[in-house]
Structure 1
């Protein structure tokens, strides 16, 4: 990471072996009420003023937004402060990730990065902030780091001591209690042509429900059911996932219903480096949501913090007037619709463990200090070459509130193609209160739904 790390953590450890690591002391946890925000970010801005102080985030929606409608841009008057291009990137190298530098060099001048005023909008409900504090006092990694204990609802380690704790903060971050929405994914050809795959997504977050206790949720983080709506050749395909907390002790459970065979079958390999369905082999399963699943294939190192230009407040991409044709371009998305800002991020490096088979030898994650959402990643091949670059474009969903992705993409620098997910434009607003009870996510329920 050269000399651009601005806050190296001297006590960071690899964290993939050994006994459970200790929770923080009460005195340390009190920092979440003083110099740190409730989620563990630095409350103050930076010295130059280019990163503001945190003042609660976008906890209240804009006055002209109405419940049940698509989120509107809370900053319609904002204009880009400057635009980073291939020609001027040397001025900004210290605040650019290696992945974005490569994107600018390889795809410029069409690929550029409009940089806006930094706005620390990430916000969560007050009861979630309370759980951050409680988790800090109790949460511990299980032996070998394959799970956690004495934690619930949201990220376990707001004051992380190592890379494993930081990645678990992303995996277990609060994303609401349940959710229903429709969106499309695509793998554009080099000329920009594409055929979208439209899915209905239904989530039930067992880990995050008020009153839930870890011993009562049967080792489950969430339940997810997806049903393909289009194209007609795939319509009716259903995938059901039970996402487990300790995936080494109890691996992820997955089923898939193929409308051709009309049978619901277990999918034992829906994990790790397996190709993500409908991604044209441009993205692995464990890249969904930027990273998911058991962390046992890598050694994780917390490198420290950096001030970095990252995707943020992507309300232009989320706008209800935008359509997939407005977003998709050859090689990369339409950068006129993007918004980048300067934020502090945690840097976590994952190195493949000896004897493990995975297509990525090394991975670098840039995690938002205000939300524990991964904002950007870099994936390297066996030869040490930068292979893929991923971005997560995020917004605050006002009705909760919660900070989460509206669109993700993985750029394959070798194939010069990309996978994009979250093309939700033109569909109804996300529904964070669909009224699920949990029994809608059993294999039997999926089988009944398929037959209808």
Structure 2
């Protein structure tokens, strides 16, 4: 790692045992909303002026958007400041991840990074900011690090002290209270040919429900039901997930209904390194949402902060103006539709614990300081070689102030293929107020839905 800015704290190698670092003092928490943003980022810009100060984010939608529409691009007039290519990347090397360097070297000249003006758009509702400050004063990691206590609604550790706290900030970040949407995934062949799989996603975030306390939510973070819409041979397949907070004490509950089987079955292995369904073995289950699940298989190292070029404000990829055929290309997506900006990120390294088996021996995560969203990651094989490179292209949503992904992909450098998820072509806008009830996410409710 180059140009690491080590924060002024003891950077922990791993919170594998009993390091109960959390619960900051009133004086530290008072920094939230002053020199730190309510989320815990540095409010000020950088010394070079290439990262601006945070002034509240994109807290109001642009004038050309109205409810019921897909998010419009508030920066449609922006032009790239410059483009990083296979030929010139060395002059930007200290602002690039190893994964992006590998992509430039492997797929250039067709693969490039268009770099735009930095826009710190991440914003959340005021009641979420209030909870962040409250969590800072009370939240603690459980003794084994596989869960948290005295926290609710959003990230527990806005002033983190170690890598595990940063990862929990990502896992528990605020993504709204409910959400319903349809999007497609694909695993393009080497020549770019693909067959999209359209899926309906329904989320109920128990952890984010207003007024909830940990004791009320039965160790659940969220409930998720997915249903495959097309192609015809997969249509009707349903997955139900109860995402738990401490997954070692109470593992994730998952059920699968395969079209034609007429039975809803438990899926006890839908975790860790298991192949993500419909990913052609190009992505593991714990890579969904960039990282999810119990952190007990890795030692977590906080490496500090870096200023790097990361995918951000990806409104062109979210737009209905571009078809899936225009986005998907051989080897990688159409980089002319992407937007990269210079942002400060927390760098977290995960190394596989002794005696644990996983396809990835080491992982590097680049976590946005303004949102706790993982923006990019690198996955290394058991020989220590860079194997896969993952990206999350994000936007700020308007109907609910949330900064979240619109498109995710994992590039496999060995297979020269990739998995892409979040293709929105022709689909309705995300609905952050679908009116779900928790009772709609039980196994019996899923079974009834499957038999319709």
State the TM-score, normalizing by the size of structure 1: 0.99
**Equivalent residue number for residue 262 of structure 2:** 262
1:9 to partner: Cα distance: 5.1
Aligned to 1:143: 143
Question: Following TM superposition, by how much is the alpha carbon of 1:12 offset from its aligned partner in structure 2, in angstroms?
Answer: 1.3
> Contact 2:22–2:160 (CA<8 Å) still a contact in 1?
no
Give 3-state SS (helix, strand or coil) of 1:144's partner. Answer: coil
Deviation digits for residues 130-183 of structure 1, max 9, x if unmatched? 000000000000011000000000000000000000000000000000000000
Corresponding position: 1:324 with 2:324 = yes
Counterpart for residue 252 of structure 2? 252
Check whether the contact 1:257–1:450 (CA below 8 A) recurs between aligned residues: yes
For 2:56 and 2:16, locate their aligned partners in 1 and report how far apart those are by CA, in whole Å: 34
Unaligned 5+ runs, structure 1? none
Q: Equivalents in 2 of 1:69, 1:275: separation in Å?
A: 35
8 Å Cα contact 1:9-1:302 kept in structure 2: no
Distance 1:332 1:362 in 2: 23
Q: Distance between the aligned counterparts of 1:384 and 1:52, measured in 2? A: 37
Who is 1:71 aligned against? 71
Aligned partners of 1:73 and 1:381: how far apart in 2?
Answer: 38
Report the CA distance between 1:10 and its aligned residue.
Answer: 4.6
Deviation at 1:425, TM superposition (A): 2.0
Q: How far apart, CA to CA, are the structure 2 residues paired with 1:31 and 1:16? A: 28
Per mean C-alpha deviation after superposition, the further-off stretch among 73-82 and 316-325 is: 316-325
The equivalent of 2:313 in structure 1 is: 313
Matched ranges for 1:138-177 at <5 A: 138-177=138-177
Q: What is the 5 A alignment of 1:168-247?
A: 168-247=168-247
Which residue matches 1:130? 130
Distance in structure 2 (CA, Å) of the matches to 1:142 and 1:352: 20
Alignment of 1:59-138 (within 5 A): 59-138=59-138
What residue number does 2:391 align with?
A: 391
1:9-40 CA-to-partner distances (Å, cap 9, x unmatched) read: 55011112114323100000000021000000
Q: Is the 1:322–1:426 contact (alpha carbons within 8 Å) kept by the matching residues of 2?
A: no
CA contact (8 A) 1:321 1:426 kept: no
- Counterpart CA distance in 2 for 1:253 and 1:427 is 29
Aligned-residue offset at 1:187: 0.2
Which whole-Å CA distance do the structure 2 matches of 1:220 and 1:163 have between them?
Answer: 23
Determine whether 1:360 maps to 2:360: yes
Q: What does residue 5 of structure 2 align with?
A: 6
| Contact 2:9/2:161, CA 8 A, preserved across alignment | no
Q: CA separation in 1, counterparts of 2:26 and 2:349?
A: 29
Please give the alpha-carbon distance, in whole angstroms, between the structure 2 residues aligned to 1:206 and 1:135: 17
CA distance in 2, matches of 1:96, 1:8: 20
Please, which moves more after superposition, 10-19 or 151-160? 10-19
Contact 2:239–2:256 under 8 Å retained in 1: yes
Between the aligned partners of 1:32 and 1:388, the Cα distance in structure 2 is 36
What is the TM-score of this pair, normalised by structure 2? 0.99
> For 2:266 and 2:197, how far apart are their aligned partners in 1?
22
Question: Once the two structures are superposed, what CA deviation does each residue of 1:29-56 show, in whole Å capped at 9, x if it has no partner?
Answer: 0000210000000000001110000000
3-state DSSP of counterpart to 1:92: helix
Q: Which runs of 5+ in 2 are unaligned?
A: none
Deviation at 1:259, TM superposition (A): 1.6
Following superposition, the deviation at residue 258 of structure 1 comes to: 1.0
Q: Distance in 1 between matches of 2:377 and 2:298?
A: 15
How many residues align? The count is: 451
The 1-side partners of 2:393 and 2:343 are apart by 14
Task: Name the residue aligned to 2:448.
Answer: 448
SS in 2 for 1:145: coil
- Match of 2:405? 405
Q: Distance in 1 between matches of 2:19 and 2:223?
A: 29
